[in-house]
Amino acid sequence: MLKLVKNPKFTKRKPMTPEEKRDAFAEFYKLANKFHKLRQVGVKRSEREDLHWKDEMFAIINPKDHNKFADAVAFMCGSQLEVEEVITHKKHLVYASGYWNCIGG
């Protein structure tokens, strides 16, 4: 006899609390800051720009964390988290347009 087994991939996500979203955004912001610094290699220190949490952000994340980071970015910035490039099956380059672009500022 066959037994039906639910795939854990398709289970319902539990909603995140605002504190969990802030923590997830802080984690995403660290990854975005790391990628931002990598993009500025070769630029003089005096000409480097800091990444603000309201700016456009790129980060390399694990696809397992995409939903967590997407909820956090939507909560903090109001923007969506879009996959720009699939680097490997464990690394995706993602983009968030940021708070300033969402409010039209």
Per-residue pLDDT at 73: 94
| Secondary structure (3-state) at 31 | helix
| Best CA proximity match to 72, nearest among 61, 84, 87 | 61
Residue 98 is predicted with a pLDDT of 85
Contact (CB, 8 A) for 57 and 81: no
Regions of the chain with pLDDT less than 50: none
Q: What would the two tokens of residue 33 be? A: 């800051």
pTM surpassing 0.85? no
pLDDT of the residue at 4? 73
pLDDT on residue 35: 93
**Cα 94 from chain centre:** 6
pLDDT at 21: 95
Which amino acid is located at 72 in the chain?
Answer: A
What's the pLDDT at 105? 56
- Indicate the SS3 state at residue 56: coil
Q: What is the pLDDT of residue 85?
A: 92
